[in-house]
Every structure is written in C-alpha cells, then in structure tokens.
Amino acid sequence: MKNIALVLSYDGTNYNGWQVQKNGPSIQQSIETALFRLLGQQVRVSGVGRTDAGVHARRYVANFRAECTIPVNRLPYAVNSFLPEDIAVSAAAAVPDGFDARFDCTKKEYAYYIYPSALRDPFHARYAYRYNFPLDLKRMQEGAARFVGRQDFAAVRSQGTPVKSTVRTVFWCEVEPADELICIRVCGDGFLYNMVRAIAGTLIYVGGGKLTPDDISSILRAGKRGQAGPTLPACGLFLNRLWYDHTPALASFRLDV
C-alpha cells in the first residue's frame, strides 16, 4: 500500500466543488472514478481543501493510498487519460505514509480576479468577476494591507461547518493589475469559509469609496459579517499556490511559482 500525492489543476466551472456531492459532479468524484478505472480499486482521495462550486485551482494537491504497480512518474499520463478535459494531473510522487494533503499544507495562496468593465468579455466570463464601476487601485492596495497578520477573520466568513477558532494568519494580501484584470492574492495558514471572496468584496467597497482602508481594521475588530463587503462570485477565485514546507517529496514540483 503506497501513499501517493497528485498535483492537479482544474477549471471548476462545471463542478459542484471539490467534495463528492449528491447534487452534481465534483472534482473529487472525477478523480476517484479515474483511479478506479485505472487501478481497479476503490480509493478515497483527500484534497488540500474543499473548494466551492465554480472555484478553480491552478495548483491542487491530493493524496490517496492504493496498491499501484504503475511507476509513479508515469501516473499523471495514465490518470489523465481517464479524466475530462477540465481536470488534469501534472505530477505525482510517493509520499511518507503519514502524509495528508490538507494537514501537511503549511501555506496556501488564493487569487481573486476582477474584470473592471461595463461590458462583458467572453474570455473572462469563466475566470473573473466583472465589476462595472470605477475602482481605485491604490486604495485597494492600502485596504489589502489591513488583512495581513494574525487576526480574527469572523467578519469576512460565511456560516459553514463550525470551526474552533476564527483566528487565522494572513501572510500577505496584495492587489495588482494583471493585464486588463485586477488580481487580489491572499496567502494564509488557513482560510475560513468564503473568506477570500469576502475579502475581495470588501476591497471592492474600499476601491469604490464605500469603505476606507481604516474601516477594514475596525470591521475586523468588531467581527460582524454585515459590516464587511459582499461575498463575490466563485468564478473569480483560484487556488493559486501551495507550500508543503515539511514534505521534501513535493519540493521539486514548484507549487509556489
């Protein structure tokens, strides 16, 4: 029985998120089905996190335990032939028996893309949230800095599975132009439900003048969800980069570039 980690990426548009769901296709289900067809074994795949319906992953790590005689460096080709076009495995590695894609991830970066335009663009429709009012990039950058640090993020999460604590560490939160889009990158040791989408919604309020950068600090202190900005749509959100600082087997896959 080997413990194998897969590096994958997916366009989440057509999925009900990572986790197996009764009401529609999921990424996890697609991968478990592909592995069953390839290996003839029912395996359970654990992912680095439960991305929501419509959220994309530029990088994602999952692991599973199975009997596998296929050389591990050939696994991506083999698994891909059983996966649909919008999910792809780019690398695979044997990892220590105790490795878990979720618990061994030390840092994650999400990217949220905003397309500031009054008119639609069909090539951004699946991958960015269109916002048709002026946004002040410098104000958004000043606002973003307020999310950095070890803080209580209760004000920017949706109710979901209960959590012990709403304190998380955000290592950076940066806003920068990316061609005709605006990209918000948030890196943390963990994220609450819908946290990045609420941070992005709050930064849109700051960029549009409804809130000041200072307001963000007081909103986080008060911890009331209603004071922050809205939860933006899933399509703009990408799981972007991952860090596994204590797992040398994954070091060569450059998950952080």
Residues of the shown chain interacting with a second copy in the complex, contacts defined by CB under 8 A: 9-11, 56, 58, 76-77, 80, 85-90, 118-123, 125-127
What residues does 172 pair with on adjacent strands? 187
Distance CA 121, CA 86 (A): 20
Residue 180 Cβ vs a second copy, minimum distance, rounded to whole Å: 12
For residue 55, which amino acid is it?
A: V
Shorter beta-carbon distance to a second copy: residue 12 or 201: 12
In Å, what is the CA distance from 183 to each residue of 114, 139, 174, 214? Answer: 6, 14, 8, 21
Residue 118 Cβ vs a second copy, minimum distance, rounded to whole Å: 7
Q: CB–CB of 99/5 below 8 Å? A: yes
Q: Is 215 a catalytic residue?
A: no
Which of 11, 52, 86, 179 is flagged as catalytic? 52
Residue 11 Cβ vs a second copy, minimum distance, rounded to whole Å: 4
Q: Which two tokens stand for residue 165?
A: 């604590």
Q: What DSSP character marks residue 51?
A: P
Residue 29 Cβ vs a second copy, minimum distance, rounded to whole Å: 16
Among 257, 256, 238, 112, residue whose Cα is nearest residue 183: 112
End-to-end CA distance of the chain: 31
The set of catalytic residues is: 52
